[in-house]
Amino acid sequence: MKIVELVNKISVPITNEEADLLAGFDNNPEILKSELGPRQQILANHLVNKNILRRIKNESGRIAYKKKTS
């Protein structure tokens, strides 16, 4: 288990798997859903539910995930 501090200064516990996925956003600010495996897509949705990631539709109309900044 790891603790992530959100933008509004609230601490949220995340699993090690979620932390590994979140570490991928350090090098790439936006990751397409199609680039993730089935398990990673589930973890990304968990992080969306925990208000850590945002699920967006990019310019080409594809689903992508970004770290929440505000």
Q: How far apart are CA 64 and CA 13, in angstroms?
A: 23
Instruction: Say if strands 11-14 and 30-32 run parallel, antiparallel, or are unpaired.
Output: unpaired
The tokens of 46 are what? 């968990």
Whole-structure pTM value:
0.86
Q: How far apart are CA 33 and CA 57, in angstroms?
A: 10
What are the tens digits of pLDDT across the range 13-43? 999 999 999 999 888 889 999 999 999 999 9
Which pLDDT score, from 0 to 100, does residue 44 have?
96
